[in-house]
Amino acid sequence: MYAAELVEIALTTLKCSQKELALRLGVSPTQVTKWKNGEHMSSEMEKRLRELSKIGDADPSLVVWAGSPRAAKQWREVIKYLADMANEGGETGYNTAPLSDAAGDEMTLDILCGQTVLTLNDMGVAPPKAFPTDLKNALADEEPYELFDEHPLANLIGKIYSAYTDVYGFYVAYVDELLEDDDGNPIDGFDDIEPCLLSLAASKLEIAQPDVEVRRDIKVGLAFAPNFLEFKRKTEKDYKRWMTKLKNRAIRTGAPLRAEIMDMVYDSHDSLGHKAEAEALGFNNSNLHPDMYMNELITGMRMIHQILPKILDKLDIKFTPDMARLRADEARWQSTQEADED
């Protein structure tokens, strides 16, 4: 999974060539090249590279992004703190498990660090050249939040996590239950919806003009994240496809939708947070399991009723529905349904 990153770290740490690294590992230089291109690496070889690079169990992608194992450890502490602060500030009524669990579970924190680095890279945010001095001072402070808030990169990560609490709350309230069948087993074809929620949250941040730097009052500046618009377009495109597929499945199987799940794609994170909070507080209890897609069907029928007569007039077609035949067809259909149930 981290073959390319491990090779890069080893080459940087050991200050050697690919050929020299291959000799140390007892493999061919061609194999090292394959690893750099993403070919699978055995767990034994991964362990050897970690030992040579002296990174221990650190996430290789975070080490590459941060510039050194020491800086990666420091950024890990920043990410852990910002995740905890965002989770505490969440107001949806739902626990943002990837953030809350990161405070006490090392594996969850590693996953969050990796997802955060991937998201920032996709947005085009330049990796830090070294761990900033002002963040070192913040880590030593008893209440470092304001110092983190003043640093552009830490500020951006904090804003992403805050948006994440809203998006994740909506996901838990309205989408998560649709991803399992009646027996509680995961449905195939929707594996990316939850893991990519951090990217979806980041895509919902407000943007500033290209010549404006990120400040406290600005979510993300295009000068700071030059690939943001393309990142946003791709993320929305992916989620539109996944949500459309999920919604169509719900319609086919008769699964009730307690909210318009396409809102997760197009609504702001604030709006998603408010809807999740309403669900958590029970404001939707008076409308138990409404079929949200019925509104679309009714709207479509109304459009047909408006347009079809005009088409018939244009074609000079006279049409009068045979109500007796329609009632007979409905009775036969009802009889068939009852027989199937028996």
Please write the tens of the pLDDT for every residue from 270-281. 999 999 999 998
pLDDT greater than 80 at residue 283: no
pLDDT greater than 70 at residue 120: yes
* Distance linking the first and last C-alpha atoms of the chain: 53
What proportion of the chain, given as a percentage, has pLDDT over 90?
Answer: 45
pTM to 2 decimal places: 0.76
**Mean pLDDT confidence for 227-235:** 95
Amino acid 166: pLDDT: 97
Amino acid 294: pLDDT: 54
**Mean pLDDT confidence for 321-341:** 70
Whether the CA torsion 219, 222, 224, 225 is positive or negative: it is positive
Amino acid 218: pLDDT: 46
d(CA 242, CA 230): 18
pLDDT tens digits, residue range 202-211? 999 987 655 4
- Where residue 214 falls among pLDDT bands split at 50, 70, 90? very low
Residue type, 257: L
What proportion of the chain, given as a percentage, has pLDDT over 70?
Answer: 87
**Mean pLDDT confidence for 157-186:** 92
Residue predicted with more confidence, 74 or 223: 74
Whether the CA torsion 245, 248, 253, 257 is positive or negative: it is positive
pLDDT greater than 70 at residue 292: no
* Cβ count within 10 A of residue 313: 10
Q: What is the mean pLDDT of the chain?
A: 85
Three-class SS state of 75: helix
Amino acid 258: pLDDT: 81
d(CA 227, CA 124): 5
Amino acid 94: pLDDT: 94
pLDDT greater than 70 at residue 194: yes
**Mean pLDDT confidence for 8-19:** 89
Residue predicted with more confidence, 87 or 310: 87
Domain limits of the chain?
3-56, 64-287, 294-341
Residue type, 255: A
